[in-house]
Amino acid sequence: MAEEVVLLDFWRSPFGMRVRIALAEKGIKYEYKEEDLRNKSPLLLQMNPVHKKIPVLIHKGKPICESLIVVQYIEEVWNDRNPLLPSDPYKRAQARFWADYVDKKIYDLGSKFRTSRGEEKKAAKKELIEALKLLEEQLGDKTYFGGNNLGFVDIALVPFYAWFKANDAFGPLNIERKCPKFVAWAKRCMQKESVSKSLPDQNKVYEFIVERRKKLGIE
Amino acid sequence: MAKEYGEVQLFGVGGSPYARRVRIALEMKGVQYTYFEEDLRNKSDLLLKYNPVHKKVPVLVHNGKPLAESLVILEYIDDTWGNHPILPQQPYDRALAQFWSRFIDDKCLPAITKAAFTANKEERDNSAEESLEALQFLENELKHKFFGGETIGLVDIAAGFIAFWLPAIEEAVGLKLLSCEKFPKLHKWGQEFTNHPVVKENLPPRDKLVGFFKARYASITASK
């Protein structure tokens, strides 16, 4: 059965992590294939000729691309357990809206913050914190965005908590102080096996941060 | 009849391809709605109330509950009113439809817009290249009369920009991207789409659109 589901992924990718979490939530066995993004496999190029990116889910030989589309596909095919989206059409649309918001804001602003300097970096930081605060507002008093269980928006967003950590952005972003609700929510998500199992290998993350700091000439 | 649908309101702008998508979907399903034309330089309090996050059109309000982002709205419309489905039934086909509509929004539209409305010639040329590549993917993907098969679906509705707005842009700025030699299937599809009985009634006046794009082009090139 596991050969039926294959995931082409990259260990540090927050988008790949979304799919790993969804597969884990649904208890789906699959074959994980690590891609070297500087040397993409013929399989990846064949399965995602348009974007040539991971993650790609291959189910019974047919590829599905774009992480949020993959998560929705997983939800629809394995619809007999652990729903990831609400059944009410309006609530479902709201979940799609906020996941789309995460896509539009968090990754791009995070990248901008990482790679820019001076005024541009300041602006990116401000916008990113504002975006996280807006998401905190959406969460309200709920345990998860999905209510009592992990939902679509949780899955869309939580990998970025891990991503910020892996990119050593926490200090400079001051996330713990500025967005405590976001951090508290992320930590709750981390307690779920499906999320903690899907995190990038923490040793590899540590090595990556050390290398990165060396390259940037930071102690 | 109106009671079946509840109260449906749509906030849009006549020239917006995104707002037109929603109108096409509602009209295809025969949903009664009230339309509010917005002035984007002077946004109404209602619009800002209903879409505080992006402050954009289109916004659909159904029984007082607002939704933004055209692709999200289209899926909601399909979930809520089951006649004339615009998304396929099978999960794999649905995923493909979602993939191509995202592709249109994330790749095609930005590339085309940049190819026309950037002051820097090199950037324009690069974007034109990107646009042609994107259009080629769509050309290859088109296997029937419409992307949705024999009837129009989500991808066709999303691709409306290519069928109607792109030719208007081409005329306004003197660009040629969607030639029938390079993209025979897409070109033919564009004609079928714009002649579809529901779509035909839901397109903005072409000359106004061309005028709008001409003015936009002039302001970009004037600032050189």
For the CA atoms of B51, B53, B56, B62, what is the dihedral angle to 10 degrees? Answer: -30
Q: How far is A118 from chain B (nearest CA, A)?
A: 25
Q: Read off the pLDDT of residues B101-117 as tens digits, 9 standing for 90 and up.
A: 999 999 999 999 999 99
pLDDT of residue B222: 80
Q: Which two tokens stand for residue B131?
A: 């646009």
A152, A99 Cβ separation under 8 angstroms: yes
Find the mean pLDDT for residues B205-221: 94
- Chain A residue numbers touching B53 (CB-CB < 8 A): 101, 134
Nearest CA in chain A to B102: A66
Find the mean pLDDT for residues B158-177: 96
pLDDT band at B2 (very low <50, low <70, confident <90, very high): very low
Question: How many other C-beta atoms are found inside a 10 Å radius of the C-beta of residue B125?
Answer: 12
Q: How far is A194 from chain B (nearest CA, A)?
A: 23
Strand-strand pairing, A31-34 and B59-62: unpaired
Interface contact B79-A70, CB threshold 8 A: no
Q: Read off the pLDDT of residues B47-92 as tens digits, 9 standing for 90 and up.
A: 999 999 999 999 999 999 999 999 999 999 999 999 999 999 999 9
Predicted confidence (pLDDT) at residue A219 exceeds the cutoff of 60: no
Does a cis peptide bond (omega within 30 degrees of 0) precede residue B58?
yes
Interface contact B72-A62, CB threshold 8 A: no
Q: Measured between alpha carbons, how far is B26 from B20 in angstroms, rounded to an integer?
A: 10
In angstroms, what CA-CA distances link B125 with B41, B80, B109, B119, B177?
Answer: 31, 43, 15, 11, 11
Find the mean pLDDT for residues A17-32: 97
DSSP code for B87? S
Q: Measured between alpha carbons, how far is B84 from B29 in angstroms, rounded to an integer?
A: 6
pLDDT of residue A3: 58
Give strand pairing partners of A58.
Answer: A6, A63
Predicted confidence (pLDDT) at residue B1 exceeds the cutoff of 50: no
Interface contact B72-A134, CB threshold 8 A: no
Of residues A170 and A6, which shows the higher confidence score?
A6
CB within 8 Å of chain B, chain A residues 157-186: none
- Chain B residue numbers touching A96 (CB-CB < 8 A): 69, 72, 75
Predicted confidence (pLDDT) at residue A25 exceeds the cutoff of 90: yes
Q: Read off the pLDDT of residues A104-150 as tens digits, 9 standing for 90 and up.
A: 999 889 888 888 888 998 999 999 999 999 999 999 999 999 999 99
Distance of CA A123 to the CA centre of its chain: 23
Predicted confidence (pLDDT) at residue A170 exceeds the cutoff of 70: no
Find the mean pLDDT for residues B10-30: 96
Q: Read off the pLDDT of residues A185-194 as tens digits, 9 standing for 90 and up.
A: 999 999 999 9
Strand-strand pairing, A56-59 and A62-65: antiparallel
A87, A35 Cβ separation under 8 angstroms: no
- Chain B residue numbers touching A101 (CB-CB < 8 A): 53
pLDDT of residue B3: 44
pLDDT band at A201 (very low <50, low <70, confident <90, very high): confident
Residues 6 or more apart whose CB falls under 8 angstroms from that of A111 comprise none
- The interface predicted TM-score of the complex, written ipTM, equals 0.94
Predicted confidence (pLDDT) at residue B187 exceeds the cutoff of 70: yes
pLDDT of residue A218: 59
Find the mean pLDDT for residues A81-85: 96
Quick one: what percent of chain A has pLDDT higher than 90?
74
Distance of CA A211 to the CA centre of its chain: 23
Mutation target among A64, A87, A103, A137 for the B interface, most CBs of B within 10 A: A64
Q: How far is A59 from chain B (nearest CA, A)?
A: 9
Helices (H), ranges, chain B: 2-5, 17-28, 45-50, 70-80, 91-103, 109-116, 121-141, 154-158, 160, 166-173, 184-195, 197-200, 206-222
Of B65, B69, B99, the CB nearest to A65: B99
Q: Which two tokens stand for residue A1?
A: 């059965």
Does a cis peptide bond (omega within 30 degrees of 0) precede residue A55?
yes
Please give the mean pLDDT across all residues of chain B. Answer: 95
Interface contact A73-B80, CB threshold 8 A: no
Q: Read off the pLDDT of residues A46-60 as tens digits, 9 standing for 90 and up.
A: 999 999 999 999 999
Predicted confidence (pLDDT) at residue A211 exceeds the cutoff of 90: no
A38, A65 Cβ separation under 8 angstroms: no
Q: Read off the pLDDT of residues B106-150 as tens digits, 9 standing for 90 and up.
A: 999 999 999 999 999 999 999 999 999 999 999 999 999 999 999
Of residues B223 and B25, which shows the higher confidence score?
B25
Helices (H), ranges, A38-169: 42-47, 67-77, 89-115, 118-139, 152-166
pLDDT of residue B149: 95
Please give the mean pLDDT across all residues of chain A. Answer: 92
